Structure 1
Amino acid sequence: MLTRESVLRRAAFGDAPDIDDREPAAAANPPERWLAAVVLGARGGYAAAMTLLEPLRRGRDPLLAALAAATLASHRRQLGGHAAAVPLDGAALRHAALAAGPADEDGLDPAGALADALLGLAADNLGRGRLTAARRLIAAASAHATSWRTRVRLGWVSAEVSLAAADAAAAVPHAERAWAVARERGAARHEIKSALVLGAALAATGEPAPRERARDLVEGALEATGKYRLGSLAWPAGLLAAELDPERADWNRSRVTRELYALLPASDPEGRRLAISSPWVPI
């Protein structure tokens, strides 16, 4: 019989993101509450996720505090708040340095927590145009890439840094590896985001065949965000789809607007403020 923790873990990192809403709501112990926050954040339920994360990141367990702080930082970045994420990722790094515990297949362990914090800081620097710092942090995180989840995230951030440096040729292999690892693992949410990162990298090459593949990847990912109710990925997928399919660009942009206006009420006040003021979020 599946435990609630195993159901939530499968939703967060496996092949069943679209679990019943009652499962996250019933999370009882700290690990369950962190997993529930991951699931809720993926759906764009940032306010509900923060309610679960705040006590965890202030708690006495360094591992859970690190994971919770890095998760909240990720949610801030998803709303365009890269600067706001920095102190959270810094706190995650401090907690992770004190964490102890056995290895975990999904990287919910000290090595995974360290990598989460370092990659979060890399993404924070990337979002503020600090590519050299981002590369140094990626290199530091690579020493802790002991789980499939860390390897996928390492591929995402590495590809995004290469794209920011206008080096699509370097971005594609990083994105390909992330997509392959996520697919092999059967991690639906990570596969969808990996498809979006790969689609962006392929499109940036400017070559017809890669752009055609990019369109197929992004269209499939966009459809999957609806199937699994992944609001955090739906609007970035819509923006990419608009760029890759000019004939449906207006429809996809209107969908992005609808997704964002549905997402904002589910965010906490600080998240809404960040999104409205961010140049990254087209509101």
Structure 2
Amino acid sequence: MASPKSTVTALLADAAFGAHPQLWPLPTATTPDERWLRAVAAGGQGHYGSALHELGQIIRSGQRGKTLSLAHSTRASFLRQLGGHDSARGWDGRAWVLADDSEAGVDALVGLAADALGVGRLAASASLLQRAGELLDSAAPPRLEVRLGWVAAELAMAGGDGAAAIAHAEAAVERADALGSARHTVKSQVVLSAALCCAGRLDAAREVADAAFAETARFGLIPLRWALGCLLADIGSTTHSAPQVTAIRDDAADTVRRGGGVWSRR
């Protein structure tokens, strides 16, 4: 029989990186690893206040190791989601200093690459992404290949290379499907839709975005629902009217605010 501790860990892992990201309320975490999983899951649902509480508990504990580094990387990712690339860079930098294995190291480097991309430092982003790819090894979890694909696709889009962006995004979708993470699959579809837009394939972009939009409702992925609402407000939807898209987008943004999300210009 599984112990309560292992059951909680399994539930949190499934919510963070598995097939049930909509699980709420989440089980109470009692260890640093569980707190990190709980923070990832809560952040994916837009419960930023709850997520930041868990990360704060890990960071204030001062217990060094992989989980402390991952907590810093996750804090940085929340800042990026809300536009704070400059602020995120400091957290990712500390995550890199604290990293003691390939998982934490790749997470930190991918985060730094995304931070650089967000402020227009494309060459620096490419260099950091290359370092992350070189550090990736068989011991690192498959989710990191998906994250690499996201940033690689976004970097290609920033350079105007729609074909390369689509290739990276499609690879991320395939890897996310194999991983079995509903959240990673939907995020990969968001990136793919944007890549299709970059390549001028708007009909295909709408099809992908509309399908992902439905999944965000099914799985309660409010931050991704907000992102897709912004995208569909620009390119149009085949399943929702423009006023419906705007209303859903604005409701998602309000939910993020109520959940503790703080918007930033960068």
8 Å CA contact 1:160–1:171 kept in 2: the answer is: yes
- 1:3 alignment partner, SS class: helix
- Which consecutive unaligned segments of at least 5 residues does structure 2 have? none
Choose the corresponding residue for 2:45, options 43, 47, 50.
43
**Offset at 1:62?**
1.9
- 2:135 alignment partner, SS class: coil
**Are 2:44 and 1:57 aligned?**
no
**Are 2:96 and 1:93 aligned?**
yes
CA distance in 2: counterparts of 1:18 and 1:262, whole angstroms: 15
CA distance in 2: counterparts of 1:82 and 1:22, whole angstroms: 28
Choose the corresponding residue for 1:20, options 21, 24, 35.
24
TM-score by length of 2: 0.92
Q: Percent identity?
A: 39
**Deviation string for 1:104-152 (max 9, x for gaps)?**
xxxxxx2111011001011111110110100000000001333311110
CA distance in 2: counterparts of 1:246 and 1:155, whole angstroms: 25
**Offset at 1:246?**
5.8
Letter in 1 for 2:34: E
Q: 1:134 to 1:262 in 2, by over 3 A?
A: same
**Offset at 1:8?**
0.7
**Offset at 1:205?**
1.0
Corresponding residue for residue 200 of structure 2: 206
**Offset at 1:65?**
0.8
**Offset at 1:28?**
1.2
RMSD (Å) for aligned C-alpha atoms: 1.5
**Offset at 1:249?**
2.8
TM-score by length of 1: 0.86
**Deviation string for 1:203-240 (max 9, x for gaps)?**
22114xxx322212111111111111111211001112
8 Å CA contact 2:210–2:237 kept in 1: the answer is: no
Choose the corresponding residue for 1:176, options 157, 170, 173.
170
- 1:126 alignment partner, SS class: helix
Choose the corresponding residue for 1:194, options 184, 188, 199.
188
Select between 251-260 and 189-198 the one with higher mean Cα deviation: 251-260
8 Å CA contact 1:34–1:53 kept in 2: the answer is: yes
Corresponding residue for residue 261 of structure 1: 254
CA distance in 2: counterparts of 1:185 and 1:261, whole angstroms: 31
- 2:120 alignment partner, SS class: coil
**Are 2:252 and 1:250 aligned?**
no
CA distance in 1: counterparts of 2:58 and 2:136, whole angstroms: 24
CA distance in 2: counterparts of 1:260 and 1:246, whole angstroms: 19
The 5 Å alignment of 1:122-133 reads: 122-133=113-124
Corresponding residue for residue 156 of structure 1: 150
Q: 1:257 to 1:172 in 2, by over 3 A?
A: same
The number of residue pairs the alignment matches comes to: 256
Corresponding residue for residue 102 of structure 2: 111
**Offset at 1:250?**
3.2
CA distance in 1: counterparts of 2:26 and 2:145, whole angstroms: 31
**Where do 4+ consecutive residues of structure 1 move more than 6 Å?**
none
CA distance in 2: counterparts of 1:125 and 1:84, whole angstroms: 11
- Which consecutive unaligned segments of at least 5 residues does structure 1 have? 100-109
Corresponding residue for residue 265 of structure 2: 278
Select between 50-59 and 83-92 the one with higher mean Cα deviation: 50-59
